[in-house]
Each structure stands twice: as structure tokens, then as C-alpha cells.
A and B are shown apart, each in its own frame.
Chain A
Amino acid sequence: MSSPEVTDTAGRPDEIRAVPVRRPGRWIAAAVVVLVAAAIGRSVATNTRFEWDVVGSYLFDERILEGLRVTVELTVIAMAIGIVLGVLMAVMRLSPNPLVSGASWLYIWFFRGTPVLVQLLFWYNIAALYPKINLGIPFGPSFIHADANTVITPFTAAILGLGLNEGAYMAEIVRAGIISVEEGQSDAAQSLGMTRLQAMRRIVLPQAMRVIIPPTGNETISMLKTSSLVSVIAVADLLYGAQIIYSVNFKTIQLLIVASLWYLALTSILYVGQYYLERYYGRGAVREEPLTPLQRIRLGLFARHEEGGR
């Protein structure tokens, strides 16, 4: 009896061509998935109560687009405040000064410990507590006087509520990033004559970014959706726009679908942004940079082309 040849006529190792193992489980699972998908698809397509034409007609309604703008604005500003506050609080938290790190701890404890909806309502009603806002030196003269009701518009209340709350979560994310960078890195930076702050800015934080980016992406996506809470304090965001319309025409489901489609579109854009940010901050951490989807497609076409040419 002869064993299969290990090398071909030219002496090159022969590629293995074996009979693959049968995997009935996979086929059954695939069949179930296809069946369920077909059932859902058919119901969505044939249930006339979806009224897809109504969804389509409101998708680019002015009030929806205006709400979309407000939602994006809220998300961007609140995240910006959150990230700045988060970095600040994380650095404070790691400070050797117990009062400074204690203040940061208290901030995080307070803003993580109360629901963001409560915080939003609180800021919205802040005029009841402080009718007049004075900015100046504590116990000394004040320079700026303002009426709380005019300064704290629903939009500012929303920004304050979302941003301050986000700061507390970002602080923990940034802190985790900072402590994930080995101590040897700041030893080396300091031995080269950098101060603690220089080492933090140039050496530690850039490397912490690799750990910080993925959860920050999560937070941004989550903020995009959490921002819909501001509709309770009469900020005209995307959800509010939809509510305004369906309170008149009672096409509730259709307008919620419109809002959902926009939320999905925005989160999809954020996915792409996060991918490229992660790739950028991952440089140096991996031996070979992962390909971008575009590069992968190009390479795939190219490789197939080459194979065909042989």
C-alpha cells in the first residue's frame, strides 16, 4: 500500500488535500438563522402598519434635521467637557496631595452616584437654589453678576448635566489608562530630565490612549443616546423633534423609527472614527499595523488578480 506523496514532482511540499470533517451542527444553525431572518424580513416588508412611506417622508423633515443638529452638538460639547474634566480629575486623583486627590474622589463619587436624569433636572431648576449667579473671589469681591434664569437655558443645563456626569466616568477611564502604562516609562522619562508633568504629557498619556480610546468610543456612543434624556427639559434634540411631530399626527412608531435610523447612522459613523483612532494610537504597540478595511479590499483584489495571472 502506498502512502500519499508528501512532495510533488518538483520536490516542493504538496499542499494537503484532505476530506473535510462534516459539521452538521453548523448547517442546522445557519438554517435557523436564515429562517428567522426571513420571517422578520417578511413581516417588516408586509406589515403595512410600518407605513414606510411615512417614515421616508419625515426622514429629512426640517424639525428632525434641526433636532439632529442639536443632538450632535450636545454630544460633541458634553464629550469635550467630559474628556477635559476626566483627564484633569484622573491626574488629580493620582496626585500625592491628599486634598487634591480627595477632591477628585468626591467629584467622581457624587456625579457617578446620582442618575444623570436627576442631574439634568437639577441643573434645569438651579435658579430655584441660586437665583443670582456671582463669579469672583470666594469671600471677596465678585466681578460677574447674572440672573440664573437667563444664563442657565435648557441647553446650558443639558450641557452642564451631561458634561459633568461624563467627566466622572471619563476620569475613571483615563485613570485606568494611566496606571496601565508601566512605571518604567516615567522612570525613563524622568531620568532624561523631564518633569512629572512633561513625562505625563509626552510619554504616559500618549501610551495610555491605547487603553483609553475603546471605552471612550463606548462613552461617546452612549452619550449620543443618553442625550435623548434632555427632551424632558425641553431641549429640542432629535427625539424631541420626533415627539413634537407625533404629538400632532399620532404617527408615533414611524417617527420613533425615523429617530432610530438617525441614531443608528450617527453611531455607525462613530464606529469608523473609533477604528481609525485606535489604529493611530496602537502604533508601536503591535509589530505590524492592522490594515484598514480599504487597504484590505485593495489587497484582496490584488491578491486574487495575482493568483489568476499565474
Chain B
Amino acid sequence: MSEPMVKAEAVHKRFGRHEVLRGIDLAVAAGEVLCLLGPSGSGKSTFLRCINHLEKINSGRLSVDGELVGYRQVGGKLHELRESEVARKRAEIGMVFQHFNLFGHMTALDNVTCAPINVRGVPRARARERGRELLERVGLEDKLDAYPAQLSGGQQQRVAIARALAMEPKLMLFDEPTSALDPELVGEVLDAMRKLAAEGMTMIVVTHEMGFAREVADTVVFMDDGVVVESGRPGEVLANPRHERTRAFLSKVL
């Protein structure tokens, strides 16, 4: 079996004295779509932020595409990576946030082209051409020059997806991408994600959209209180949860 895209072994994360992650073991294969479910405060979002090193883990091992996140192992010792090295690795991982976090002072197209131009050094004209393609792919070809404040939540989130894709990531992280949206706007964002999954993108999605998880996910993982309670194919976990806590959670959200 080939190296998994994301591999977590006994990952622990503390904020002060509060243990948010208490030993996460997880593997995500290339091309796999994994949905992380669980009540709020269970550590799903924190785990996602650990994968691109926005949060530092306290113990355990976490690797992406065979390389440790945030460290380099030389002999038996871990060496912290320099900021520029961390940044380079982050650039290969796309992230979509609950509150979109679009750059408010830039148009949709500038949001999409900003990182390729400034981080990767892609020539302006090329970046803009590619940016237009990406925005067209998420159905926003007529919103290139709109500022985020002029877009609906669903449109903003689709720009955010295009912005992440502009860096040609090998892995996409979605942190509750539809939780801040009006119900009638959720569909357009899920459609864009569905398309992406069909194209073979490796995706980790923290979500409360059970329909999406059932339909698109290869694996669903149920987390509670900083540990993985159970995981498996969506049909099994969602239909016949083995664990009491999973059952209790699903009975509330389904």
C-alpha cells in the first residue's frame, strides 16, 4: 500500500491545561474524501488546523505526503522547520474556512491571484488567466471584480474555494464550509465541493451536512472529546453506529 496523504499517530494538542486532542490516529489515502463529524468542541477544527501547522501539536506524529508537519527528523531528533519552510509546505495544502476569510480589500479575482503571484512568483498575466478559469469553474465568471462585501455568503465561499485551488494543492481542508451560510446557499457550495471530489482531490471536510457526508465521503470519522470514537464507510457509520456516543449525536442531527 502506498504512503497515505495524511497520517496521524497519537496526536495530542493542549491549549493551556485544556486537552483538545487526546490521541488521534487517522490515515487519509490520496484521492480519498474524509468527513469529520462530531459535536462542537470535539476538536475537529483544531485537528484540521494542526494538519497545516496553524496549530502546533504537543505530542504524537503528524505527516502529510510522507513528510512530518512542522518538523524535520534528523537521526532520532526532531528539528523545528524554519518559517519559510513551513510556509512552503502550507502552500501545498488548501484550506477553506467557516467564515470564508476572504481578503476584504481585494476583488474576487485578486483574492484568487494574490498567493500565486506573491508566494509562487507566477507572472501576473498567467495568474489572472488561471484565476478567471477557476472562478468560472465555481460559477462566478461575472463576479471577477466584485469585492467580498458585495457577494453573498455562498459566492464568497466559492471564491474562497477557488482561491485555495489556485495554489494547486495536493490536499484540501474544509473547516465547516457551510455552517455560516443561509440554508438556500448551502447547495451551491456543496456542489462545488462535490465536483472537486469527483476530480479526485484528497479532501478532509469538517461538516454537519450529513447528506453530503453520506453521498460524497469515502470515510466518515466521528470525533468526540478529542478522540476518534469510530470511523468507517458512511453507509455503516451513519446507518448503524456501533458506539453509544455516535448514536446520541446522530439522533440529534439527522
Contact = CB atoms under 8 A, between A and B. Distances in A.
Interface of A: 182, 184-185, 187-196, 198, 202-203, 206-207, 281, 283-287
A188 B119 contact: no
A192 B119 CA distance: 8
A300 to B, nearest CB: 25
B104 A285 contact: yes
B103 A185 contact: yes
16 contacts: A185-B101, A188-B102, A191-B93, A192-B91, A192-B167, A193-B88, A193-B90, A193-B92, A194-B118, A198-B87, A203-B103, A207-B103, A207-B104, A281-B105, A284-B147, A287-B150
B78 interface: no
A188 B101 contact: yes
Contacts of A203: 103
Interface in B102-139: 102-107, 114-115, 118-120
A197 to B, nearest CB: 9
A145 to B, nearest CB: 40
B54 interface: yes
B167 A193 contact: yes
A201 to B, nearest CB: 9
Contacts of A281: 105
A191 B52 contact: yes
B71 interface: no
A202 B93 contact: no
Contact of A190 (B54, B84, B120, B160): B54
Given A193-B167, A195-B84, A287-B150, 7 more contacts: A188-B97, A190-B87, A191-B95, A191-B164, A192-B115, A192-B119, A196-B83
A19 B121 CA distance: 67
Contacts of A190: 54, 87, 90
Given A187-B101, A192-B115, A203-B103, A287 B84 contact: no
Contacts of B147: 283-284
In order of increasing CB-CB distance, the 6 nearest A-B pairs are A193-B91, A192-B115, A188-B101, A284-B147, A184-B101, A191-B95
Interface of B: 52, 54, 83-84, 87-88, 90-95, 97, 99, 101-107, 114-115, 118-120, 147-150, 160, 163-164, 167
B168 to A, nearest CB: 11
A213 B99 CA distance: 26
A283 B149 CA distance: 10
Nearest to B163: A192
Given A187-B97, A192-B163, A193-B91, A207 B105 contact: yes
Contacts of B87: 190, 193-195, 198
A207 B147 CA distance: 13
A287 B167 contact: no
Nearest to B54: A187
A202 B105 CA distance: 10
